[in-house]
Amino acid sequence: MSFTLTYASMANPPDIFHTSYETALAELKTKLGKDYPLIIGDEKRFKEEKFPALSPINRDWTLASFQSGDAQDAQDAVAAAKAAFPAWSKLPWQERVAYVRKFAQAIQDRIFEIGAAVSLDVGKNRMEALADVQEAVDLLLWPCKMMEQADGYQVKLANDPMEGVLSVNESHMVPHGVWLVITPFNFPAALACGPMGNALVAGNTVVLKPASDSAWATAMMMECAEKAGFPSGVINYLTGPGGTLGNALIDHPDIAGVTFTGSAAVGLGINRKFAEFKYPRPVVLELGGKNATIVSKNADIADAALGCMRSAFGLQGQKCSANSRIFVEREVYQAFVEELVRLTKEIKIGDPTMRENWFGTVINERAAADYEKYIEEFETVGRILTGGKRLTDGDLAKGLFCAPTIVVDVPMTHYLWKHEMFLPITMVTAVDSLEEAMGYANDTDYGLTAGFMGSAEEGEWFLDNIQAGVCYVNRVMGSTTGAWPGFQPFGGWKASGSTGRNTGGPYALLSYMREQSRTRVSIIE
């Protein structure tokens, strides 16, 4: 098939993508309720205490069950990964790349099945779900490509100019050890495979802990890893509560590095904890965002509104890249707002596995309760133009459906201009100049993504002044969303990230390795 699925192309895929997804979905629904084990070395471990995966589309649907891992399971998984590290790290890098490519292919072969699971487990529409899984594949393949291009990051340096001896110098990038990967609910495939791919290709072994709200897709990917034939202990998989299992992993002295994707509060806490150990250990953080789009008076209003709508309400606003703030030059403010409201009211809401529905559910009851809390606040301090309510009519009654919401007239001093809600809510205000808009856009602790709609010349000014790691100019498919490995590397500045090297970019793999300078001296006779 010549069609390549990305976040830019998923809006209009060939019909075979829909028919293949529907076939996989129907088959998957006949297999609900499977009990997935912990994977520790070559052991598949089952526990007395388990927890169910309930679909946010219909809370009566039990999708699967998972083990509640504990501190002992954490100890055992780290021990297995540590035991596997010497052999795995000493494999020629070409062999590690071959394993990871097999892993990617095994996921690719099951893209429609895993995509259907993502829809049921997270509430994503079918194309968002399929894009998540396809991105997982591409994020596994990307570090393989980077490793090959760098020839294993083994570089011959100049020889020392020493008389009577030959001093040969090299620089080698080498792995750290056991790498912990902690993932969020919203991209269960991509945000697991991105750091795992980097860690494995670099020569680290992995302990993966997914979010409990979306463990199903990662469990299926562990089946793909098993098919790829990784040696025992190279990838270990743990499910369970963050308060016990997660903390036991983070506190473990044999964890050599960690990738955490999630809230800034938790991620920065991990960073501080890692700084308290005997010596520094690498921390790769992919954290929250409070992402702005600036709309110029010179923008195409229809395109600007469409790009903002897609980024604000894709995945029900549950993206760290979601467009939650929009600053519009006053001359076009009214026209822009009217078009944004019109487009938002046209959004098809319902079971996201159905082809016609673009907008699905929030992830859990806590998120739905937060939505109601914020709506109550906005009704006091601003004006809701559309949305602002839970949707409970008919088939929506058993799910977690929250209407896409546009809010205006909120004072710029209000804390919600700077607080990440992670919900289908966006705030809009008029500004008197692009400079004023830029001041507001940068006035936040976050610096993840940002968008601009206007002239090409203004776009260059925007890129030179915005404080964000991922920037888009005139992107109609999503004004602040849509990163893809090899095309738009993804990572944040300020409180949105830690390394300054974006996932899916040319430098990401370096975050999972450390440099060793090697000098060999011999006497010249």
Say which residue the tokens 């570090």 belong to: 143
| Straight-line distance from the first to the last Cα atom of the chain, in angstroms, rounded to the nearest whole number | 62
Residue type, 293: T
Strand pairing class (43-45; 38-40): antiparallel
Q: Which residues of 489-518 are buried (b: 16+ CB within 10 A; e: fewer)?
A: bbbbbbbbbbbebbbbbeebbbbbbeeeee
How far apart, in whole angstroms, are the C-alpha atoms of residue 511 and residue 195? 10
- Count of beta carbons in the 10 Å neighbourhood of residue 26: 10
Beta-bridge partner residues of 208: 181, 237
- Count of beta carbons in the 10 Å neighbourhood of residue 278: 6
Catalytic residue, chosen from 113, 128, 135, 286, is: 286
How far apart, in whole angstroms, are the C-alpha atoms of residue 271 and residue 160? 39
**Alpha helices, DSSP H only, in 155-300?**
190-202, 215-228, 247-250, 264-275
170 assigned to active site: no
Contact 119, 353 (CB under 8 A): yes
Catalytic residue, chosen from 144, 193, 308, 320, is: 320
In sequence order, the 6+-apart residues with CB closer than 8 A to the CB of 152 are 93, 94
Quote the tokens at residue 420.
């990440």
- Count of beta carbons in the 10 Å neighbourhood of residue 377: 15
Q: Which residues of 144-163 are buried (b: 16+ CB within 10 A; e: fewer)?
A: bbbbeeeebbeeeeeeeeee
402 assigned to active site: no
- Among candidates 514, 512, 515, which has minimal Cα distance to 139? 512
How far apart, in whole angstroms, are the C-alpha atoms of residue 200 and residue 426? 38
How far apart, in whole angstroms, are the C-alpha atoms of residue 343 and residue 310? 9
Q: What is the DSSP letter of 245?
A: I
**Length of the chain (residues):** 525
Q: What are the angstrom distances between the C-alpha of 64 and each of 29, 56, 263, 400? A: 11, 13, 26, 19
Q: For the residues of 62-126, what is the DSSP string, one character each?
A: EEEEEE---HHHHHHHHHHHHHHHHHHHHS-HHHHHHHHHHHHHHHHHTHHHHHHHHHHHH---H
Q: Which residues are identified as catalytic?
A: 286, 320
